[in-house]
Structure 1
Amino acid sequence: MSDRLTVLFMPESAHGPTNQCIGIGKVLLDRGHKVVFAAERSWEGQLAPLGFVEALVDLAAPDPDATDEAAGQFWIDFINETAPEFRKPTIEQLSTFVQPTYQALIDGAKYVEPQLKAIIAEHRPDVLVEDNVVTFPALMTSGAPYVRIVSCNPLEMRGSEIAPLFSGYAAADRSGWEEFLAEFDRTHQGSWEDFNAWVQEQGAPPLQPREFIHTSELANLYVYPEELDYLADRPLDDTWHRMDSSLRETDGEFEMPAEFLDRPEGAGIIYLSLGSLGGADIGLLQGLIDVLGKTDHKVVVSMGPRADEIRLADNMVGASIVPQTKVIPQVDLVITHGGNNTTTESLHFGKPMIVLPLFWDQYDNAQRVDEQGYGKRLSTYDHTEAELLDAIDQLLGDSALRERAAAAGEAIRARKGLHVGADVIEKVGLDHVATR
C-alpha cells in the first residue's frame, strides 16, 4: 500500500499488555502495515509466526545459566516469597510490593534505553506505541509520534474525584483516600525523583508528580468498558480514546467437552483463571479447585505454570494455558484474579464475575465490578467455602444480572474497541508521514 506505516510496539513483558498489543497489531498488520515488537526476550518465537517483526530486548543482563526451566522456577519462587504480601491491606502493599515493582520496572527502563535507541534507528518507525507503566525516553526522543496505551485499570489516569490507584477503595467512601495517597508519596517519592532526573538526562520531558510515564500530547488509548468507566467523576481531554475491549483474534479454538453440555439443572459452566502469577500460588488455586470439585458445575481451569502439580476434579478440564478468548464466550461465569485483560474480556462477552484480587490494579477492578453490579468481590485468602458457593449460586441464579451483562457485552462488541485502537494509531502515523 502507498501509505504503509512502520508501527513499533513496546509492551510490558507481562501477558496482559503484550496480548492486547498483539490484538491491535494484528489489525494493523492486516491493513498492510509493518508491525515491529520491541518485546522482552522471553517472547522470542511467539510473535514472528503471527507476522510481526521481533526486535527483542533484554530488561536486565542475561543470565548465562538461565534456561526455560529456570525462568519458570523464577516465577514460582517469586510467588512463594511474595504471596504473603498479597494478604496485607493494599495500603501496606505500597511499600512491600508496589514500590519494589516500580523500581524493578525503572531499572529495566534504564537498562533497555540503548537497545531501544538502536532498534528505533534500525526500523525507523512512523509511530511508536507504549503499553507500560513506566516511560522509555527513547520513545519520546525519536522524532516520531508517540501513543500511550493504558491497559491497567483507568484509575491510572488520576483525578481528585476518583479513588487512588491500587487501593481497591470504594467510590462512595472517601474516608481512606487521603491517607492512601500520603503513603504512596512517602513510599514512592524517592524512586520518582531519581527516575525523573534520569528521564530528563536522556532528553525526554519531565514527568508529572506521582506519574512514572508520559502522556502523549497527540493520542492516548485505554482499555476499559464504558459500563465500568469513571468518566463521570474524572473526565478526560480529547487526546484520550477508550477501547472498550481489546480482544486479540489470534487465540486457537476451544471445543467444550460434550459432557459439559449435559449437566444437572441449575449447574453452570465456570471458567477459573488466576493469571500466570496467581496460578503459581499452588495453595490458592488448588483450594479453589477442591471447592468447585464438590459442586455440580462444570469448570474449565487455566492451570498456570505449575499445571503438573494441580489435581483437577472429575467435573473439570484444564491446561497450563487455555485460549481464554475462545473459552469465555462458552461459559456462564468467570472466577478471576481481576487482571485487566480478563476483566474486560469477560464483560466483552457479557459474563458476570467473581473477582479474587491479588495485587496491583486487580483490587481496583474487583471493586469496580462489584460496585457496578457485574459480579462480586471476595477476599482472596479469607473468604469461606460457603461465601464462594453462595456467590456462585447468586450470580448464576440472578436472571436480571445475566440479562444486563449480556446486553453490556453486546454493546461492547458493537463498539469494536480493537479497531478503535488501530484507527487512532494509524491516523497518528499517517498524519506524521504526511507532514514529513
Structure 2
Amino acid sequence: MPVLKVLFVPLDTYGHINSCIGIAEKIIQFGHQVTFALEKAWLGKLSKYGFNEIIYVDQSRGPNQGPNDYWVKSIDMIAETLPEDSLYKAQHQSVKEFEDFVFNVLNFNDELKSIIDQINPDVIVLDHYFTVPAIYQSGRKWIYMTSATPLSAIIHPDTPPTGSGYPIDGDRKEWQIFNEVSEKHDGPIINKFNQVLMEKYGLPSLPEGSAFHPSPYLNIYAYPEELDYLDIRPLPDKWKRYDNFIRSSQVLTNQKFELPDKLKNRSGKLIFVSMGSMGCSQLNLTKRLVEILSQSPHRFLMVMGSCLENVKLPDNIWGDKMLPQVQILPMVDLVITHGGNNTVIESLYNGKPMILCPLFYDQYDNAQRVTEKGYGYRTNPYKCEPRELLEMIESILNDQNMNDRCRKISKRMQNIDSPMQAAKDIIDIALEK
C-alpha cells in the first residue's frame, strides 16, 4: 500500500481536535502520514505526538492567545444567558456573535488553499459546522466529520430541533416554536453565508436547513448506537456512524495520573466534575458547584480552568486547570458534566453514569438523550437547589439498574475499535479510483 497523506482540518477547539486525534493516531498506525492544519495558537501542541502541523493565522484572534482563549472569550460574552433554557438562548443570541462564528471559516480560507496545494493530500477530513470553500474547491477527496451530536448535522422532521434539548416524544408545537425562533435569528445569516459561497466561490447552494455541504465521498460522526436516533430516522446516503472517536490515554499526556493524596485517604465515592474547556472559565458557576459539592460525603476531581486561582477548594475536592480525562474516567463512579459530545461518549465507554448540566448548543441534546435513555439525569447547574443536586448524586450512585446499563454499554463499546474502523474507511476513500 502506498503511503497516503491525510490532512485534518478541525475547528480549533479541544473537543473537535481531540476527536480528530482519535482517528488520526490509528491512521498513523497503518503507516500513513497525518497533518493537522491548526490555528497559530496550537503551534507545537500536536507535533510531539507524531502528527505533522501546518499553521495558519486567523486575523480575528489576538496576537498572544492560547489554544482556548478565543473560545473562553466568546462564552464570556454570552455568560449572562448561560443560566437560561435553550429557547431563551435562541431568542437572545447575539446576531454579531453568530455571524462572526459562521464567517470565521473564510478568515483562513486563502491560507488553507495554499496549505492544500503545498501538502497535496490524498484525502482531507474536515471537522467543522460550516462549509470551507477551499476544501470543496480543492479537487481532492474529502470527508465531512462532526464531533457534535448527530442532531447538529442530520436534520429530520421526527427528531427534535438541534440545540433544543427537547424530548423525542415532546410537544411538536414546542419544536415548531423553537425552529421558528432559530430561523428568525439564524436564517438571515446562513442565507448571507450561502450567497457568499455561491457568488464569490462558485459553490452550489447549501442544502435546505443546513450550513454545510455534505461530502459526496463520506460523512461521519460518533454516537453510541444506544443513544442514536436510528430507530427514528435512517442514515442518509454517504453517512456512517461510529460508537466513538476516543483518543488513547497516551495522547496529550506522557504521565500516568495518580489520585492526589488529598483524596486518596478519604472515604466516599470518587466523582469527576468537568464543565468543559469553556464552561470551567465561568467563575460564578464554578463557585456554586464547589459550594454545593463541599456538602457531599464523596470525593471530587474537578476541572477548574481559569478559576483555579480564584476558588478555595474544600477538603473533599481536588482540582487543576486541566485534567487527563481519558485516564481519570476509568477510576471514578460518576461524572458531572456539561454534556459535551466527547465527555458523554467517553463516560459511557467507561461505563459511568452522568449528571448533565448543559450550558449551550448540543449539550442540551446530549443531556436530554442520556436522560431519556436511562444513563443519567439532567439539571440546570445555575438554578437547581443544592439539595436537588446532592440527592441526584446519591440516587445515581445507588441506582443498580442504571449502573448495570452503563456497564453493559461500556462492554459493547470496548469490544469494537471504532476509531480504527473510521481510519480504515478514510483510507479506503483515499485509495478509491
Q: Give the counterpart of 1:254 among 237, 253, 257.
A: 257
- Secondary structure class of the residue paired with 2:182: helix
Query: Which residue number corresponds to residue 182 of structure 1?
Result: 180
CA contact (8 A) 1:95 1:187 kept: yes
CA 1:258–1:89 in structure 2 vs 1: closer, same or farther (change >3 Å)? Answer: closer
Alpha-carbon distance between aligned partners in 2 of 1:34 and 1:426, rounded to the nearest angstrom: 11
Q: Deviations over 1:316-361 (max 9, x none)?
A: 2221111000001100000000011111111111100000000111
Contact persistence 2:304–2:319 (CA under 8 A) = yes
Aligned 8 A contact 1:164 1:180 in 2 = yes
2:92 corresponds, among 87, 91, 96, to 96
Contact in 1 for aligned 2:93/2:185 (Cα 8 Å): no
Aligned position for 1:233: 232
Q: Which moved more, 1:354-363 or 1:250-259?
A: 250-259
Q: Give yes or no for the alignment of 1:159 onto 2:156.
A: yes
- Shift in Å at residue 18 of structure 1? 0.7
The answer to whether the Cα contact below 8 Å between 1:251 and 1:324 also exists between their aligned partners in 2 is no
Give the whole-Å Cα distance in 2 for the aligned partners of 1:259 and 1:92. Answer: 41
Per mean C-alpha deviation after superposition, the further-off stretch among 209-218 and 132-141 is: 209-218
Q: Matched residues in 1 for 2:204 and 2:422: separation?
A: 25
Instruction: Within 5 Å, give how 1:82-231 maps onto structure 2.
Output: 82-97=78-93, 100-156=96-152, 157-173=154-170, 174-200=172-198, 201-231=200-230
Aligned with 2:8: secondary structure? strand
State whether residues 339 and 357 of structure 2, in contact with CA within 8 Å, keep that contact through their aligned partners in structure 1.
yes
2:266 maps to 1:270: no
Is the counterpart of residue 9 in structure 1 residue 12 in structure 2?
A: no
- Matched letter for residue 375 of structure 2: Y
Instruction: Show the 5 A alignment for 1:358-397.
Output: 358-397=359-398
| Structure 2 CA distance for partners of 1:97 and 1:29, relative to 1, 3 Å | farther
Note if contact 1:130-1:147 (Cα within 8 Å) is conserved in structure 2.
yes
Structure 2 residues without counterparts, runs of 5 or longer: none
Once the two structures are TM-superposed, the CA of residue 74 in structure 1 deviates from its matched residue by 5.9
- Describe the SS at the equivalent of 2:425: helix
Evaluate the alpha carbon distance shift between residue 102 and residue 214 of structure 1 in structure 2; reply closer, same or farther with a 3 A threshold: farther
Q: Give the residue type in structure 2 aligned to 1:22.
A: I
On the 8 A contact 2:14/2:68 being kept in 1, the answer is no
Tell me what 2:40 maps to.
41
Structure 2 counterpart SS, 1:189: helix
CA distance in 2, matches of 1:84, 1:38: 33
Q: What SS class does the counterpart of residue 205 from structure 2 fall into?
A: coil
Q: What residue identity is the alignment partner of 2:353?
A: P
Q: Distance in 1 between matches of 2:85 and 2:157?
A: 22
Which stretch has the larger CA shift, 166-175 or 89-98?
A: 89-98
Asked whether the equivalents of residues 68 and 277 of structure 2 are also in contact (C-alpha less than 8 Å), the reply is: no
Q: Residues 368, 259 of structure 1: CA spacing in aligned structure 2 closer, same or farther, 3 A cutoff?
A: same
- Normalising to structure 1: TM-score of the pair? 0.93
Give 1:147 deviation, angstroms.
0.5
The alpha-carbon distance between structure 1 residues 62 and 400, as it changes in their structure 2 partners (threshold 3 A), is closer
Q: For the aligned residues, what is the CA RMSD? A: 1.9
How far is the alpha carbon of 1:55 from its aligned partner?
A: 1.3
By how many angstroms is 1:92 displaced?
2.8
Stretch deviating more after TM superposition (380-389 or 304-313)? 304-313
Amino acid at match of 1:298: R
Question: How high is the TM-score relative to the length of structure 2?
Answer: 0.94
Long gaps (5+) in structure 1: none
In 2, Cα distance between equivalents of 1:76 and 1:155: 24
Judged with a 3 Å threshold, the aligned counterparts in structure 2 of structure 1 residues 77 and 33 are, in CA distance, closer, same or farther, namely closer
Cα deviation for residue 154 of structure 1 reads 0.9
Q: Give the superposition deviation at 1:61.
A: 4.4
CA distance in 1 between partners of 2:414 and 2:328 (Å): 16
**In 2, are the aligned partners of 1:251 and 1:326 still within 8 Å (CA)?**
no
**1:211–1:349: structure 2 CA closer, same or farther, 3 Å change rule?**
same
Q: 1:422 is matched with which residue?
A: 423
Deviation at 1:90, TM superposition (A): 1.4
User: What number of residue pairs does the alignment pair up?
Assistant: 426
User: How far did 1:141 drift?
Assistant: 1.2
After superposition, give the CA deviation of every residue in 1:13-46 in whole Å (9 maximum; x if it has no partner).
Answer: 1110011111111111121111111122211110
Distance 2:2 2:125 in 1: 18
Q: Which amino acid aligns with 2:155?
A: R
The amino acid that maps onto 1:320 is K
CA deviations over 1:149-173 (Å, ceiling 9, x no partner): 1111111211000000011111111
Percent of aligned pairs with the same residue?
34
Counterpart secondary structure, 1:400: helix
Q: Which residue of structure 2 lines up, in the alignment, with residue 58 of structure 1?
A: 57
